[in-house]
C-alpha cells in the first residue's frame, strides 16, 4: 500500500513500526504528519498510552487527519477519540464475497468510486461501538450471510477529521484492489483539512 500511495508525487509517505524508536510516532515525527494512517491488529494494546494521547491531541488540537484501517478499530488512538471500545459485535474471517454500495456518491471520499465486489474478505457484524458518524459513505453486504455493515465512516473531532475504512485483512489481497487504494487515497486527501 505504501508504494501505491507514494506513486502520487505530491504525497510524502513514511512508514513507522513498533520496532522504531518511540514507535515511529515521537513528537518530532508527529509534528511533520498531516495525515496518520493506522493499520494494526494484534499489538493494538502494546502502544503506550502516552503515544496514543499525543496522537489524539494532534488530531483534536492541531487538526491532524487520522485514517483508521480495518482491525485498527481497536487501536488506542481511535478508541480514545471515539470514547468507546471500538468493538464490532462479531466477525467471521471466512466472510466470502462482499458487495460495496456507495451511499454518498458526492462525498469526496467516494470520488472515482463505483459499486464493486470484494471477492474474499473478513466480515464484521454490526453494531460497531462508536458514536454516530458524521457520514456513512459506503456500505458492505454479504448476501450469503444476510449481513450488512457500514464500510466507510467519518467524524470531526476537535479540529481534526477521522475516517474509518472497514475493508482489509492480513491475508486477503484487498489492499491491492484499485477501488480500495482509491478510497484510501481519497480519505487521506479529505482528512488533510486543518480547521482554523
3 grid coordinates: 508504494
Q: Is the pLDDT of residue 76 over 60?
A: yes
What span, in angstroms and rounded, lies between the C-alpha atoms of 51 and 106?
Answer: 35
Write down the pLDDT at residue 106.
Answer: 98
Summarize the confidence of residues 85-104 as an average pLDDT. 93
This prediction has a pTM of: 0.92
Q: Which stretches of the chain are DSSP H helices?
A: 2-6, 27-30, 49-62, 76-82, 178-191
What span, in angstroms and rounded, lies between the C-alpha atoms of 160 and 194?
Answer: 7
Write down the pLDDT at residue 8.
Answer: 61
Domains, in order of start, for the chain? 2-191 (3.40.50.880)
Cis peptide before 127 (omega within 30 of 0): yes
Write down the pLDDT at residue 117.
Answer: 97
What are the tens digits of pLDDT across the range 105-128? Answer: 999 999 999 999 999 999 999 999
Summarize the confidence of residues 21-31 as an average pLDDT. 84
Residue among 98, 34, 92, 47 nearest 74 (CA): 47
Q: Are 60 and 160 in contact (CB under 8 A)?
A: yes
Amino acid at each position: 500500500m505504501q508504494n501505491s500511495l507514494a506513486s502520487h508525487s505530491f504525497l510524502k509517505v513514511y512508514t513507522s513500526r513498533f520496532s522504531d524508536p518511540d514507535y515511529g510516532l515521537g513528537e518530532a515525527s508527529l509534528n511533520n504528519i498531516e495525515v496518520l494512517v493506522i493499520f494494526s491488529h494484534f499489538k493494538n494494546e502494546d502502544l503506550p498510552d502516552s503515544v496514543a494521547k499525543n496522537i489524539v491531541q494532534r488530531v483534536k488540537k492541531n487538526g491532524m487527519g487520522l485514517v483508521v484501517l480495518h482491525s485498527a478499530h481497536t487501536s488506542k488512538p481511535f478508541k480514545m477519540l471515539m470514547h468507546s471500545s471500538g468493538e464490532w459485535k462479531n466477525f467471521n474471517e471466512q466472510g466470502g464475497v462482499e458487495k460495496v454500495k456507495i451511499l454518498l456518491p458526492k462525498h469526496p471520499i467516494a470520488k472515482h468510486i463505483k459499486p464493486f465486489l470484494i471477492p474474499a474478505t473478513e466480515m464484521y457484524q454490526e453494531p460497531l461501538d462508536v458514536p454516530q458518524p458524521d457520514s456513512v459513505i459506503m456500505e458492505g453486504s454479504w448476501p450469503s450471510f444476510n449481513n450488512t455493515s457500514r464500510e466507510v465512516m467519518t467524524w470531526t473531532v476537535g479540529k481534526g477529521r477521522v475516517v474509518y475504512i472497514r475493508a482489509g485483512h492480513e491475508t486477503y489481497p484487498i489492499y491491492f484492489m484499485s477501488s480500495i487504494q482509491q478510497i484510501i487515497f481519497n480519505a487521506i486527501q479529505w482528512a488533510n483539512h486543518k480547521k482554523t
